[in-house]
Structure 1
Amino acid sequence: MRIHHLNCGSMREVAPPSDPDGALRPLPAVCHCLLVETDSAGLVLVETGYGTLDVRDPQRRLGPDFLAWAQPVLDPEETAVRQVQRLGYAPDDVRHVVVTHLHRDHTGGLADFPHARVHLHEAEHHAATVVGHDRYLSAHWAHDPHWLTYSGADGERWLGFDGVQQLAGLPPEILLVPLAGHTPGHVAVAVRRPTGGGSAWLVHAGDAYFYRGEVQAGLPPTPPAFDALQASVETDRPLRLRNVDRLRALLAEQPDQIDVVSAHDPWEFARHRQEAPASSV
């Protein structure tokens, strides 16, 4: 099991949190995706960021208000499909996509992998495709993806989280972890990865938090821009904060067995790329 950390969409620059040591500098927010090489199920893409169709037609695909606020760079070389190709793979080698939720900065690349199975929580699928909201953009799934949805009622308890499930057609080292609050069906994706002394879990927490200091003690407070953004989009703040508390506890309790990443923290992404210069963990 090999994991590549990909930035599939740079966005507006974010000022760092208060940093007395001066170690942090302003950086563009990222769309932190994972590309997982499996032995039996091909490539698994966790999140998709922006896609090639977003680059070609951003006004229709993303909307003028979102473009003005997020200021995505929309570099075709940052799309997941281009990065997959640069690693020596074909787009069809990505047989599975797992999305934490269906906001437009997480789903733009779905159309670049039309043959992939798309795994997500059924509550998120319902919220986006049945209930609808202006934060969801149906153009991103107009190609009629092969959805595979999961109900938390069918899962098991895992490290303090309920409703956790293995994914159809994927090895047991990849789990779907309900982590609602940012959206109704938001999830995390846990990947068990090899380490020098065995294995450990890497948990992609999507937008459950925006800045590493929310889950790791001893870091500066969250940048105000991230706080304001989360407050404007979250659907259940108490539930989201309870889930963030559990992530924080896991990192404190099992620092050698658990690592957590989020979707947009550029300093967190930079740390993982520095630790894995060949784009792998």
Structure 2
Amino acid sequence: MMPRIALALAAVSLALSSPAAMAQSEKSGVERLYVLNCGEGTAGDISRWTPGLNEGKTMDFVDSCYLIKHAKGWFLWDTGIADAVAAMPNGLVPADPKAVTWKRPKTLAAQLEQLGLKPDDVKAMAVSHTHPDHTGNVELFPQAMLYVQKAEYDWPGANNEPRFKPSHPVELLTGDKDVFGDGSVTILSTPGHTPGHQSLLVKLPKTGAVVLSGDAVHFKDNWDNRRVPGMNVNKDQTAASMQKIADTLGKEKGQLWINHDKAQRDSQKLAPEFYD
């Protein structure tokens, strides 16, 4: 009798240690990552982002949002230019002609609907920072828990206005945050562009690790040359945050997805296609 029990236990042990079972136990909680079109525009003068270079040169920008399907629910990273801009024939024209004139070819709401989702389905969200090309649709999700660095939340807005509605549920962070507790989605504190800027590390089962830059860097040439835009609030913090991202990419053997880089975005699969 005993040998049979021993054999049965050995069989169970072998099954649990098989490559398929081990892969299942190690599987990331992230199931899919969607890249959403959250704005397209043209910068009037990119020397704002490359001090001392490119004076008077224009550049096309994009604005991406990212929707993550995790075993525990839907998580949205950044919300892009306000959906209302889609109805503006000339786009959102900035007061500063050197800045970006934004257009909204597709609304965020329509892209969610295409995936069979309603805004209420998004249970948690975070924004890289509080500039309007990243927070334009935060209040489309009034029920979603918003993760934001305390330094960003406390940073006075125009006319000292709060940066979010006081009624919006929020968790204030003072550093990195493992969103789901399984290491698959980690908010990285990367200040410099703004006082509480943050980036996002996502670990996908097949694609591997991806860091979503926010505006820690605006386009690949700036990343390659570690250039700091003139409008950033802190140059030293920006440089340190770029190094933190580089260290993370090295450790995780990851890719950097740069939010505003059009050439990179044009090479990516856009929703309803996805990365897994």
In the superposition, the TM-score normalised over structure 1's length comes to: 0.71
Residue 146 (structure 1) aligned to one of 169, 187, 194:
169
Residue deviations 1:54-101, cap 9 Å, x none? 546899xx78526983211133x2x22211111121221111111111
Displacement of 1:120 after TM fit? 1.0
Residue 120 (structure 1) aligned to one of 148, 152, 175:
148
Q: Which runs of 5+ in 1 are unaligned?
A: 17-25, 153-163
Asked if residue 241 in structure 1 is aligned to residue 256 in structure 2, the reply is no
- Quick check: 2:211–2:245 contact (8 Å CA) kept in 1? no
Distance 1:58 1:114 in 2: 28
- Give the ranges of 4+ consecutive aligned residues of structure 1 lying more than 3 Å apart after TM superposition: 13-16, 53-59, 66-69, 140-144, 169-172, 213-216, 248-251
Displacement of 1:124 after TM fit? 0.6
Displacement of 1:48 after TM fit? 0.5
- Further displaced range: 66-75 or 172-181: 66-75
Distance 2:60 2:221 in 1: 17
Secondary structure of the equivalent of 1:12? Answer: strand
Structure 2 counterparts to residues 193-208 of structure 1, below 5 A:
193-195=204-206, 200-208=208-216
- Quick check: 2:39–2:80 contact (8 Å CA) kept in 1? yes
- For 1:181, the equivalent position in structure 2 comes to 192
Q: CA RMSD in A?
A: 3.4
Indicate how the Cα distance of structure 1 residues 243 and 58 shifts in structure 2: closer, same or farther if over 3 A, else same. Answer: farther
Indicate how the Cα distance of structure 1 residues 55 and 213 shifts in structure 2: closer, same or farther if over 3 A, else same. Answer: same
Aligned length: 234
- Quick check: 1:99–1:106 contact (8 Å CA) kept in 2? yes
- Quick check: 1:49–1:105 contact (8 Å CA) kept in 2? yes
- For 1:156, the equivalent position in structure 2 comes to none
- For 2:9, the equivalent position in structure 1 comes to none
Indicate how the Cα distance of structure 1 residues 187 and 4 shifts in structure 2: closer, same or farther if over 3 A, else same. Answer: same
Q: Which runs of 5+ in 2 are unaligned?
A: 1-30, 47-57
- For 1:39, the equivalent position in structure 2 comes to 71
Asked if residue 211 in structure 1 is aligned to residue 219 in structure 2, the reply is yes
Displacement of 1:5 after TM fit? 0.9
- For 1:161, the equivalent position in structure 2 comes to none
Indicate how the Cα distance of structure 1 residues 66 and 5 shifts in structure 2: closer, same or farther if over 3 A, else same. Answer: farther
Asked if residue 2 in structure 1 is aligned to residue 2 in structure 2, the reply is no
Asked if residue 51 in structure 1 is aligned to residue 78 in structure 2, the reply is no
Secondary structure of the equivalent of 1:263? Answer: coil
Displacement of 1:165 after TM fit? 2.0
Displacement of 1:215 after TM fit? 3.6
Displacement of 1:132 after TM fit? 2.7
Identity level (%): 23
Indicate how the Cα distance of structure 1 residues 185 and 54 shifts in structure 2: closer, same or farther if over 3 A, else same. Answer: same
Indicate how the Cα distance of structure 1 residues 232 and 106 shifts in structure 2: closer, same or farther if over 3 A, else same. Answer: same
Asked if residue 165 in structure 1 is aligned to residue 196 in structure 2, the reply is no
Q: Which residue identity is paired with 2:218? A: F
Greater radius of gyration (CA): 2
- For 2:127, the equivalent position in structure 1 comes to 99
Distance 2:150 2:166 in 1: 19
